[in-house]
Amino acid sequence: MKKPMIGVLPLYDTDKKSYWMLPNYMNAIEEAGGIPIMLPLTTDIEIIATLADEFDGFLFTGGHDLNPELYHEHAEIACGELCIERDIMESNLLQKVIELDKPAFGICRGLQLFNVIMGGTLYQDIPTSLQLHVNKIVTHKQSPPYSNLVHDVHIEQNNLLHDILQTDTIQVNSYHHQGIKKLSDKLTAVAVAEDGLVESVVMAGRSFVLAVQWHPEYSYKVDDYSQKLFAAFVNAAKSPRYNILIEDITA
């Protein structure tokens, strides 16, 4: 069986006006048996449709904050740097990928993108919003090295994530200042942190639409669970029906 081609959404340096990529994303996919290829940053709908057709799976990477206008809010002071081109490309690509039922794996911003595009909202800044309403304070933005695991995540049973990891609790690394506020009704939260923040989502009725708030690309060399996530994603890209549907798991 040939290795699946995985389209990796590009990172963007606003100051240098250049695309760039963390080797960790590429290396984790390659070690899991896929061929990672960084996609161009484009808002051309025809090119986006072609990319959706040609690649076997898609990794939606971390990076810029999403434009709050996408979830009908104005940017707060603590909202970070935006990249409108990424918002446009990734929104359109994700919708095409879901229509084609191709595997989509979101990491950090990727999870937030999945939620917003499907009708959810975000905390624009966790330290100034979420933590005002909880008793348990969780470290969501750690210091290097980012491969260190810094807080627990509880995983619900009978869903794709639990099927992959086969455990109810894991430790994860964490480097983000935004997170899911209102969950999209098209997604299911399958993992939460101790402060209640959603840490992973899946989409029912699709073979592999999964996103995590933590960064397995930093921890995959030292953490078996991170390796399992990339392996499951790449295996799903080998065959669209590799994983049974979420609705079948939970029936």
Task: Encode pLDDT of 152-182 as tens digits.
Answer: 999 999 999 999 999 999 999 998 999 999 9
For 96, the token pair is 């095409």
Asked whether residue 244 carries a pLDDT value surpassing 60, the answer given is no
Helix axes 84-100, 45-54, angle to 10 degrees: 40
Strand-pair category, 35-38 with 5-8: parallel
Please, are residues 139 and 193 in contact by the beta-carbon 8 Å criterion?
A: no
User: What is the structure's pLDDT at 198?
Assistant: 97
For 99, the token pair is 């229509």
User: What is the structure's pLDDT at 1?
Assistant: 73
Identify the active-site residue in 90, 108, 162, 176: 108
Q: HEC profile for 139-193?
A: CCECCCCCCCCCEEEEECCCCHHHHHHCCCEEEECCECCCEECCCCCCCEEEEEE
User: What is the structure's pLDDT at 240?
Assistant: 54
- pTM as predicted: 0.92
pLDDT (tens digit, 9 = 90+) per residue, 45-78?
A: 999 999 999 999 999 999 999 999 999 998 888 8
Q: How far apart are the first and last CA of the chain?
A: 32
- Given pLDDT bands bounded at 50, 70 and 90, which one contains residue 131? low
Q: Bigger pLDDT: 80 or 46? A: 46
Q: Tell me, yes or no, if 64 is annotated catalytic.
A: no
Asked whether residue 110 carries a pLDDT value surpassing 70, the answer given is yes
Identify the active-site residue in 140, 162, 176, 215: 215
Asked whether residue 246 carries a pLDDT value surpassing 70, the answer given is no
Q: Tell me, yes or no, if 108 is annotated catalytic.
A: yes
- Which range (73-82, 85-94, 175-184, 207-216) has the least confidence? 73-82
User: What is the structure's pLDDT at 241?
Assistant: 46
Within 10 Å of residue 157's Cβ, how many Cβ atoms? Answer: 11
Q: Using CA atoms, how far apart are residues 159 and 87, in angstroms rounded to an integer?
A: 28
Asked whether residue 132 carries a pLDDT value surpassing 80, the answer given is no
pLDDT (tens digit, 9 = 90+) per residue, 5-45?
A: 999 999 988 888 888 899 999 999 999 999 999 999 999 99
Tell me the pLDDT of the chain averaged across its residues. 91
Within 10 Å of residue 45's Cβ, how many Cβ atoms? Answer: 13
What is the signed CA dihedral for 219, 224, 225, 227, rounded to 10 degrees?
A: 70
Asked whether residue 251 carries a pLDDT value surpassing 50, the answer given is no
Identify the active-site residue in 140, 162, 176, 217: 217
User: What is the structure's pLDDT at 189?
Assistant: 98
Q: Tell me, yes or no, if 215 is annotated catalytic.
A: yes
Q: Which of 137, 161, 166, 165 is nearest to 151 (CA)?
A: 137
Q: Which helix (H) or strand (E) holds 108?
A: none
